[in-house]
Amino acid sequence: MRGIGWASLNQERIVLGLAVLLFAAAAVGLPGFLAPDNLIAIVRSVSVLGILAFGMAIVIIGRGIDLSMVAIMAMSVAWYLQLLNGGMSDGPAFLLVLAGVVGIGVLNGVLVAYADVPAIFVTLASGSFVFGYVRSQLITQDAVALPQGHWIELFGGVRYLDIPVEVFVFAALAVLTFLFLRFTKWGRYVYYAGDNPMAARNIGMPVRPMQVLRYVLSALIAFIAGLLTAASLHSINTRIVNSNLLYDIVLVAVIGGIGLSGGRGGVRNVLVGAALIGILLNAMTIIDIPTLYQNLIKAAILLSAIVIDGILNPRDEQTAQQGDI
Amino acid sequence: MSFRERWQAWRYNRIPSHLIGEILTKRWTDNAIPFLALVVTLAIFGSAISGFFKPAALQASSRQLGEFSLVVTGVTVVMLGGGIDLSVGAIFGLACFSAVFVFFIMEQSIWLALAASLATGLVFGAVNGYLVGYLKLRAFLTTLVTLIFGRALFDILVTAYAAQVQLSDAESPILDYIGDGTFLGLAISVWLAVVFAVVTHIALTRSRPGWHVLAVGGSRRSAHNAGIRVGSTVFFTYVFSGLCSALGGFLIACRLSGAGPGTGQNLEIMALTAAVVGGVSLGGGRGSVVKGIMGAIIVLVMTNGLIRLGYGTGTTQMVLGLMLAAAVTIDIRWLKNRHKVLNEVYVAPVYLKMGEAQSAEPDSGTPYELDNRLSAAEHIGLGELEGPEDVILDRDDHLYCGTRHGEIVRFFAPDYKRSEVFAHVGGFPLGLAFDRDGNLISCVGAMGLYSISPERKVTKLSAETARSLTSVVDDARLRDPNDCDIAPDGRIYFTDSTKRYDAHDWTLDSIENRPTGRLLVYDPKDGSTRTLLDGYRYTNGVCMAHDGKSLFFAESWACRVHRYWLEGPKAGTAECVIKDMPGYPDNINRASDGGYWMAWLGMRTPSFDLSLRHPGMRKRMTRRLPQDDWLFPNINTGGVVKFDESGRILDTLGDLSGEAHPMVTSMREHKGYLFVGGILNNRIGRFRIAGADENWTSPASYWGGAK
């Protein structure tokens, strides 16, 4: 699958090479880049993005895509905080929101798996719906603040060896996702169904229920990412739904070499993608490039990465899949 | 007749339930759902918002609609080509900024601003097109990245130049006119959108490049294998989309006289929703510009309507999400299940009570009694032939037949051991006839009436007749031209067996039993084709009478033979001359003794005759049983029947062994021999007719001795 002779320069290696080059260049050229604090900041800056990318990766490997993740992440937590601010006790509120999150995941999955609707459209629609419904019906303002002294706030303040808690959650989820994809039966199904859904179905795998499961997982991971965001910022701003974050997630997952056609890639690819983005953002921040230009540079680098991949691994008309966009 | 039969006859013969299936075969039914959605949307918002349809209000929203429709037209073309363009919002914004920059900051003419806008769209579209078309990158990912890139660039530029634009005092009446003026009561942007939509529609449906786009979207691999340059076709769809978005951006620049940070934001999702809500399929090949425009109107009316109704932030997205999900789900389910629904409802059997037939059993003593004489026929081309439906001999005694592979095969006299492909026509050549000049005329199944000259030049004579006014399916097209014969004046009389099924689906037609067979005439003088008779149950063989003043034609599923008069007091009318035969008649040809040979393609069975009186049962059968389990006419036994001018049966030949000629679809007498063909057979039989004139040949007796 990877490293077949002349094509050994695949996307993952290119991106890894770029990341290493950038890291080296930054280490040499930028004062304070190699400081432990800065290295931690790099990881911290990409932890939420990386966590979201794990969920996205699981879905993409199973030949799907989840464009509703950012909406679920922001709106579930916003609703949760609104319920808490409205005086609901913690347990029922959490369970209610959790049920909502799982419900949206199931809805996505059922429409994709059982109604055969393309995942791009289902999740684009459900993301739009989730944002619109929660924003217009359930919450009153764009930003919802965390109630004073709530456990999420305390959780966000946890440090171990000066390393913030997000990094640990990121690492833990990386390990969990890795174990799920590599060593569990359901995790292996993700690859088989992503590589060839018809064949997987023909040999008796529960392809459709597994598809639903993947969308539920990605919704849950989005919820966790939302809670972490709220933990570090003490509030959640629903305007994040309109930002580039969604595209960043897809790119972190895909830039590391997870094929959008499914069946390929894993946690390592997400980590590679997240490393490139993290180092890039950090280096640019140190050099003091404005955020607007950072977006431009990021986009240019991503563009060159996929162009190089396209040149090195050209698609063939005879083997390309119909309707594969 | 019992009450049940009366009821069945009324229910299945009077209620036109076959129309449901025919309507569902129409491509325009695809448009019905989005059109209905459009009407409902307009009705709801029109009634909920007072003054919604007032000209002033329409004027304001129509400008936005014009810009948006342009973008959607571009996205539609890309989607039809099998791609997706997410960068339209960025191109829209950047093109808007380019125009603003050139006009307000560089203070150049408005036309230069337009050129700058279009150039921006061209460059971005070309980048997208190059990456997706030539480098074959994934459309979704690539345009996502160019979207982010374009948006980032736009944000930088707008932040940097916003103040300067505010301070600029550049003015132009043309800009104001484009932005605020109207032409014949409609905003300029609407005119542009309409022109673009019309031109694009014509290009897509009636030009080679447009067909290439649809072909690539429909099946990329097939298009590639057919020699279409997939790469450049895809490239041009993105360039087109870029230009469309850029024009939209230019228009908004004129309307707002500036570019704000929100220009073009979320436009890609709106355009995508519009295209899909309108019914343009993801993955390509299906959809049209009209659908895209319908979707654009629905989306814009919805979003603007909700804002004007005063719903809070987020409502728009909620409704857009619901709309997108519903539209895609309906579209997918419809696409997926349409042919299933069609299969379920298309076959609409009718009631028919067949007349009692005389027995054809051996030793029954009737003129129809079958014997075993045909089993003694010598075989020609055994194993080489597939499906010689009709056989014919020319003046030089060579033998011709059509095959399943669309070829006319010629066997050389005198022993018919050697053969060659005389001509390749395509389709499935069925009935054959020689005209006065020795041209071979053939009814080609699924294609039409063709002529093959002695020099093997294939010419299409006719593929259509006049369309009847009330038909839903296209009954102008010849679906199953079956047999032909030529009148002394050169006119070619031929049959088209059914209007509702293609040639290979003749079994379905037999089960349905609906009378849609026709007798047609082709006039070589002016090349016209006319329908003479309509409403027969599978018209089949045609044969001119010996005197050339009338013709016989067979009505297979009714087991009848009719005579149609060309001259004389009964000219233009048909009368039934043989009815209630025990077999299903096929081709008819002249015999040396003044009589006629008629082939039986199969034999009636009591079970199938009974099923014809139970149309409901046949409908359930086609719905619920696999095709192999269907009850349909017995074609394992056939025969050759000889009748005279008055329709009296003289003789019946059969092959009871079922080995050589179980099913006979044609026979031709030539110099004392009968040549026998069958559409499902693998040979031609040559059978010695006892006591026949050994010098008689059909061309000589009909057209005269010399050429």
When pLDDT is cut at 50, 70 and 90, the band that residue B557 belongs to is: very high
**Tens digits of per-residue pLDDT, B424-458?**
998 899 999 999 999 999 999 889 999 999 999 99
CB proximity list for B619: less than 8 A, separation 6 or greater: B347, B348, B349
Residue A154's Cβ-count burial label (10 Å; 0-12, 13-18, 19+) is exposed
Q: Given the structure tokens 């997000």, which residue do they identify?
A: A166
Q: Closest Cα partner for B314 from A58, A8, A138, A39?
A: A138
Q: What is the pLDDT of residue B706?
A: 53
Per-residue tokens: B5: 């039969």
A238 → chain B, closest CA residue:
B314
User: Chain B closest CA to A179's CA: distance in Å?
Assistant: 28
pLDDT of residue A10: 67
Does position B486 have pLDDT exceeding 60, yes or no?
yes
How far apart CA A206 and CA A214 sit, in angstroms, is: 12
Q: Using pLDDT thresholds of 50, 70 and 90, give the confidence band for residue A309.
A: low
Residue from the list B147, B321, B336 with its beta carbon closest to the beta carbon of A132: B321
Q: What pLDDT score was predicted for residue B577?
A: 94
Please list every residue in chain A whose beta carbon sits closer than 8 Å to the beta carbon of residue B144. Answer: 247, 250-251
Mean pLDDT confidence for B520-542: 93
Nearest by CB to B156, from A116, A292, A314: name it. A292
H or E element: which one contains B177?
Answer: helix B173-180
Q: Strand pairing of B186-187 and B182-183?
A: antiparallel
CATH code: domain of residue A43: 1.10.3470
| Interface probe, candidates B225, B318, B319, B335, chain A, greatest A C-beta count within 10 A | B318
Average pLDDT, stretch A68-85? Answer: 87
| A contact test, residue of B148, B220, B309, B332 with most A CBs within 10 A | B148
3-class DSSP state of B541:
strand
What average pLDDT does the segment B258-285 reach?
Answer: 81
Contacts of B148 in chain A (CB under 8 A): 244, 247, 295, 298-299, 302
> Looking at residue A2, what is its pLDDT?
43
Number of structural domains in chain A: 1
The chain-wide mean pLDDT, for chain B, equals 87
Residue A320 lies in a domain: no
Is pLDDT above 70 for A206? yes
ipTM associated with this complex = 0.80
Contact B283/A292, CB-based, under 8 Å? Answer: no
pLDDT tens by residue, B134-176: 888 878 778 888 888 888 888 888 888 877 777 777 777 777 7
Grade residue A3 by pLDDT with cuts at 50, 70 and 90: very low
**Structure confidence at residue A1 as a pLDDT band (50, 70, 90):** very low
More confident residue, B441 or B314: B441
CA distance A24 to A321: 39
Name the residue range of residue A171's domain. Answer: 7-312
pLDDT of residue B240: 93
Is it the case that residue A131 has pLDDT exceeding 90?
no
pLDDT tens for residues B658-694?
Answer: 888 989 999 999 999 999 999 989 999 999 998 888 9
Q: Looking at the predicted structure, is the pLDDT value of residue A277 above 70?
A: yes
Which residue from B623, B604, B612, B633 is spatially nearest to B8, judged by alpha carbons? B612
Predicted confidence at residue A9, as pLDDT, reads: 62
Question: What does the pLDDT look like over B212-222, one tens digit per residue?
Answer: 999 988 888 88
Cβ-contact B64, B82 below 8 angstroms: no
For chain A, give the secondary structure using H, E and C.
Answer: CCCCHHHHCCHHHHHHHHHHHHHHHHHHHCCCCCCHHHHHHHHHHHHHHHHHHHHHHHHHHCCCCCCCHHHHHHHHHHHHHHHHHCCCCHHHHHHHHHHHHHHHHHHHHHHHHCCCCCHHHHHHHHHHHHHHHHHHHHCCCCEEECCCCCHHHHHHCCEECCEEHHHHHHHHHHHHHHHHHHHCHHHHHHHHHHHCHHHHHHCCCCHHHHHHHHHHHHHHHHHHHHHHHHHHHCEEEHHHHHCCHHHHHHHHHHHCCCCCCCCCCCHHHHHHHHHHHHHHHHHHHHHCCCHHHHHHHHHHHHHHHHHHHHHHCCCCCCCCCCCCC
Residues in chain B within 8 Å Cβ distance of A116: 332-333, 336
Confidence of residue B526 (pLDDT cuts 50, 70, 90): very high
A132 contacts on B by Cβ (under 8 Å): 314-321
CA dihedral for B573, B578, B583, B586, sign (positive or negative): negative
Is the pLDDT assigned to residue B619 strictly greater than 60?
yes
Top-confidence residue, B28 or A173: A173
Judged by CB atoms closer than 8 Å, whether chains meet at B149 and A296 is answered as: yes
Highest mean pLDDT among A68-77, A305-314, B174-183, B322-331: A68-77
Task: Kindly state whether residue A70 falls inside one of the protein's structural domains.
Answer: yes
- Interchain proximity B322–A134, CB inside 8 Å: no
Question: Does residue A75 belong to any structural domain of this protein?
Answer: yes
pLDDT-above-70 percentage for chain B: 99
Closest Cβ opposite residue B142 in set A124, A142, A306 = A306
Determine the distance in angstroms separating the CA of B348 from the nearest CA of chain A, rounded to an integer: 29
What's residue A4's pLDDT?
Answer: 46
User: What span, in angstroms and rounded, lies between the C-alpha atoms of B656 and B662?
Assistant: 7
Mutate to test the interface with B, among A66, A128, A238, A248 (most CBs of B within 10 A): A128
Interval B363-373 mean pLDDT = 90
Inter-chain touch A247–B224, beta carbons under 8 Å: no
Q: Where are the alpha helices (DSSP H) in B25-109?
A: 29-48, 55-80, 88-100
Which chain B residues are within 8 Å of A128, Cβ to Cβ? 269, 317-318, 320-321, 324
Per-residue pLDDT band for A315 (boundaries 50, 70, 90) equals: low
Q: How many CB pairs under 8 A join A and B?
A: 166
- In chain A, the residue whose alpha carbon lies closest to the alpha carbon of B153 is A296
For B90, B114, B457, the CA distances from B161, given in Å and listed in that order, are 17, 19, 72
User: Cβ A131–B318 below 8 Å, yes or no?
Assistant: yes
Please, are residues B72 and B292 in contact by the beta-carbon 8 Å criterion? yes
CA distance A224 to chain B (A): 23
Domains of chain B: 18-42+61-342 (1.10.3470), 373-462+478-702 (2.120.10.30)
Quick one: pLDDT at residue A313?
A: 64
Residue in chain B closest to A112 (alpha carbons) equals: B329
- Chain B residues with CB-CB distance to A310 below 8 A: 131, 135-137
pLDDT score at B707: 46
Binary contact (A325, B138; C-beta < 8 A) = yes
Cβ atoms within 10 Å of A27's Cβ, excluding its own: 12
The band of A325, judged by pLDDT with boundaries at 50, 70 and 90, is: low
* CB contact (8 A) between residue A320 and residue B313: no
Whole-number mean pLDDT of chain A?
Answer: 81
Query: With 0-12 CB in 10 A as exposed, 13-18 as middle and 19+ as buried, what is B203?
Result: middle
Whether residue A324 is contained in a domain is answered as no
CA distance, residue B129 to nearest chain A CA (Å)? 13
Identify whether A263 is part of a domain.
yes
Nearest chain A Cα distance for residue B26, angstroms: 24
Chain B positions touching A130 (Cβ under 8 A) are: 321
